[in-house]
Every structure is written in C-alpha cells, then in structure tokens.
Structure 1
Amino acid sequence: MDNFTLEKRQLCDIQGRLFELALKNKLDCPLFIESFMNSKTAAALDDVYDRLQWAGEEYILEELNDEVHGLKKAGTTYSLDVMYWIGYTYRYWHYYTGEYSREIYKIADAKTMSECWLGFHTFDVEMAVDDLKEIYRQKHSPDK
C-alpha cells in the first residue's frame, strides 16, 4: 500500500494490542470484537484524525467499556496471537480498502477471523484481506 505511513502502522499495532488487552482482561473475545467493531469507539479510529487514535489501548478499552455499559467477562477466548492478528488486520483492512469497521465486521466477523487465522496469519495482510473478502463473496453469491 503506497500511503501506509508510520502513523497508520502504529495505529494497526495499537489496535492489535487493544485486542490482546481484551484477552488479558479476561473478556469474551468474540463479544469484545463484535462490540468494538460496531462501536463509536471504532468509528473514531476510522476517522482521518481523532484524539482517541493516540490515546493508547488501555484508554480505548475504557472508552469502549463505557460506551457499551460494560464488556462481558469470561466466555470464549482466543489466543494472544489470534487476538493481535485480528485487531491488526481489521485496522489495516480499513486503511487498505477505506471500508469502515462496521462494514468490515459484516464481511469477516470474529468467528471467521479466528477460523482463518491459522492459514492466513502468515500472508501479507493485503492478501489476507483479499481472501477474506473472496470468502464472503463466495458465501453470499446469488448462485448459492
């Protein structure tokens, strides 16, 4: 990606660390991911510039927790590697395609991302995004 600046790479890393922090805080991973990707908090990160982008993962998690009136503890968990990859990939996806977090989640929800991690985490991120979009197209094609 031509315009993949240092700042954008840092935001991908912050979002990866945010997803790791959710796991470390013993949050239900799929519910956290769904809540985050459909939140005003994620929409703020999608903006060209928002103060929240540089607040750090701890503050972002607090903002999300306040927004959804409490994130659910326990439940299903993913590994630290899976959580980081999902968070990083979702943010990169936004920069790569211009799609917003809410739209991205409709294409590749938490279950899809966790199931694809093993095969896709070694791919170039753009290739992983393209393949995730293709999986969605195949599942939702009119001839199915």
Structure 2
Amino acid sequence: MDLSLDQRQLCDIQGRLFENSVKAGFDSQEFIRTFMTSSVASHLDDTYDRLQWMGEEYLLDELGDEAGGFKRNGPLYDQEMMYWTGYLYRYWHYLTGESSRNIYHQADAETMNTSWIGFHALDPEMAVERFKEMS
C-alpha cells in the first residue's frame, strides 16, 4: 500500500509521540494502552481533525490532560521500538481502516514489544498481516 505524504507524516508524528513518552520516563505499557484507547487516538483516526497537525509535543500534552497524567514507575521500552510501534499502529489504521482501540486489542503493548525484534525489519504491511494472523 502506498500512503500519501500526509499519511506518512502522521505515521511519523505518532512514532515520535511514542518515542517521546520514553524520553519523558512514562511507563511504556501504560502509555501505549492509554493512547490507543484515548479520544486523542480517535481524533487521529478521523479523516481530518485539527489534532492531526498539532505535532507530537501538543499531542502528548493533550493525552496527558485526558489521562490525568502518566505513571513513571513501570517498564520503559526501547526508544526505537516505541517509534516503530507508534508508526506501525498508525500505518495499520490506514491499511485496514480499523480504529486505534480495535488495533490495540489485537496487538497490545506487550505483544508489540516482544514482536519488535522479529517484525521491525519487515515491510509495515507484512508486519500488520503477521499481527492479524496472530490475533
């Protein structure tokens, strides 16, 4: 699947958002769950929403406000893994049209973390197909 430039940019923004959560010291599992089930993620799933162009720092603030803050005493995943996870989740949405919430129920934070080693070198479309076969 060929994504548009706008879609690729949103994949990158979401990847950087996930990466920034590690830099801020937020519990990675909790951050992923919180984001993927949030209204912020729902806004990104829309065809067009103003939040899509606010950048990862703004999105992190919006998510923090919605969640009432983030835990800092849980596991911190690798920054590259978190970027890949954020990017792939958004790509998955564009590929299938599924909501972030539904995608998370198929591949939660732990699944993404344990699969990263074997899946990160795959084409994103192939990685999504593998996750769908596993669920």
* TM-score of the superposed pair, with normalisation by structure 1: 0.92
2:121 counterpart SS class: coil
2:77 counterpart residue number: 78
**Matches of 1:133 and 1:115 in 2, distance apart?**
15
Aligned AA for 1:104? I
Is 1:128 matched up with 2:131? no
Report the alpha carbon displacement of residue 75 of structure 1 after superposing the two structures with TM: 1.1
**Matches of 1:72 and 1:78 in 2, distance apart?**
14
1:40 counterpart residue number: 39
Aligned AA for 1:46? D
Cα RMSD after superposing both structures: 0.6
**Matches of 1:22 and 1:61 in 2, distance apart?**
8
Alpha-carbon displacement from aligned partner over 1:14-61 (angstroms, at most 9, x marks no partner):
000000000000000000000000000000000000000000000000
1:49 counterpart residue number: 48
2:89 counterpart residue number: 90
Report the alpha carbon displacement of residue 63 of structure 1 after superposing the two structures with TM: 0.3
1:90 counterpart SS class: helix
Work out the number of aligned pairs and report it.
Answer: 135
**Matches of 2:10 and 2:47 in 1, distance apart?**
12
Which portions of structure 1, spanning 4 or more consecutive aligned residues, are displaced by more than 4 angstroms?
Answer: none
**Matches of 2:114 and 2:13 in 1, distance apart?**
23
1:114 counterpart residue number: 113
Alpha-carbon displacement from aligned partner over 1:52-102 (angstroms, at most 9, x marks no partner):
000000000000000011111131011111000000000000000000000
2:67 counterpart residue number: 68
Aligned AA for 2:79? L
Gaps of 5+ in 2: none
* TM-score of the superposed pair, with normalisation by structure 2: 0.98
* Counterparts of residues 5-44 of structure 1 (less than 5 Å): 5-44=4-43
**Matches of 1:81 and 1:11 in 2, distance apart?**
17
* Larger Rg over CA atoms: 1
